[in-house]
Chain A
Amino acid sequence: DVKVTQSSRYLVKRTGEKVFLECVQDMDHENMFWYRQDPGLGLRLIYFSYDVKMKEKGDIPEGYSVSREKKERFSLILESASTNQTSMYLCASSLRSMNTEAFFGQGTRLTVV
């Protein structure tokens, strides 16, 4: 059973703080993704990675960075959190070699105050 685990279910941070969201998958997937989910806007791709140390910008990368030092772990970094980054963040992973589904983590609800 595929497991994608995000380190926190809920986070409250202050404006200007550096925030780390961690995601770990246990299925040896090459691809990993970070999405942001907001009502009416669906799932918007922030960054993705198709291999260790590789990263690609998605549709809304501004204000975010990522790190993929190990295959199983993909971190999302908010360099200086702002209130407009209050959102639900979803991590996902998938195999690269086949067109198959992405498996999602349980999500992190981040509130920036």
Chain B
Amino acid sequence: GENVEQHPSTLSVQEGDSAVIKCTYSDSASNYFPWYKQELGKRPQLIIDIRSNVGEKKDQRIAVTLNKTAKHFSLHITETQPEDSAVYFCAAFTSGTYKYIFGTGTRLKVLA
């Protein structure tokens, strides 16, 4: 079946440094790629997304890039802050099947 691989599983960075999380998807028909942030004890919430007709999208300190040929997409967080500490999930959605398939998550720790 479809799957999404996510790396790394944990990531520690110093405050102010950049963080990169990478995902690879298997279903070439996937056409929508959201990223979610889940703070401790809270529900996952969307932070940025990208559709398959776009290669890059940026929103202030976060950006997402998509390489459809390689079936890779990545989350980039610049100038990290302690409040960026959370678990981040990538997902791939295929409109023909209505399914969101999630990666296994990355625990990001931003050290002050």
Q: Using C-beta atoms within 8 Å of the partner chain, give the interface range for chain A.
A: 20 to 34
- Report which B residues bind A (CB closer than 8 A): 1, 6, 9, 31-32, 34, 36, 42-46, 49, 51, 89, 91, 93, 95, 98-105
Q: 10 closest Cβ contacts across the A-B interface? A: A99-B32, A42-B104, A43-B102, A104-B43, A101-B46, A50-B98, A42-B105, A104-B44, A42-B102, A106-B43
Residues of B within 8 A of A43 (CB): 44, 89, 91, 102, 105
Residues of A within 8 A of B44 (CB): 43, 90, 104
Known: A31-B98, A33-B100, A45-B101. 16 other contacts (CB 8 A): A40-B9, A40-B104, A40-B105, A41-B104, A42-B89, A42-B104, A43-B89, A43-B102, A45-B102, A50-B98, A56-B99, A59-B1, A99-B31, A99-B93, A102-B34, A104-B45
